[in-house]
Amino acid sequence: MNAPLPEHIRKALETVTLDDKYSLDYGRAFMSGVQALVKLPMLQRLRDAQQGKNTAGFVSGYRGSPLGGYDQALWKASKYLKAQNIVFQPGVNEELAATALWGTQMLGFSPKETQKFDGVFGIWYGKGPGVDRCSDVFKHAN
């Protein structure tokens, strides 16, 4: 019942931390669904880097969205996001969040010599009625 673990298993478990879900780029880490959504932009940045692209990320949305706790989880992971050039900026409402995200996609309009990144990927979140109100931004930003 309380038999000691084999040495190789015990040593492997000594290195496990609660931050593994955000700090590990490879391997297995256990996390909730919301934490997986926080990890998503980090994985996108890793995929981009593997393809030789230097990208940044931008996450915005409405804090009252049904994704309960997503914004709080993003804030808790801010040191991991910042280290990978991923910015979380919540919007006052869905429209402003979507418009802010749209602005990050206009990288090509600035002079090449001022661009620090090859591109910016974005994640927007909101609730159903907010999607309806954002139709102009969605239509014109795509």
Write out pLDDT tens, residues 127-140. 888 888 888 888 88
Residue 73 confidence class, pLDDT cut points 50, 70, 90: very high
Q: What is the pLDDT of residue 76?
A: 94
Q: Which of 97, 78, 81 is nearest to 46 (CA)?
A: 81
- Beta bridge partners of residue 62, listed in sequence order: 91
Write out pLDDT tens, residues 10-61. 777 777 777 888 888 877 888 999 999 999 999 999 999 999 999 999 999 9
And the tokens for 113? 């010599």
pLDDT higher than threshold 70 for residue 1: no
What is the percentage of the chain residues whose pLDDT exceeds 90? 52
- Tell whether pTM > 0.95: no
CB count within 10 Å of CB 96 equals: 16
Which residue is listed with tokens 């602005």? 103
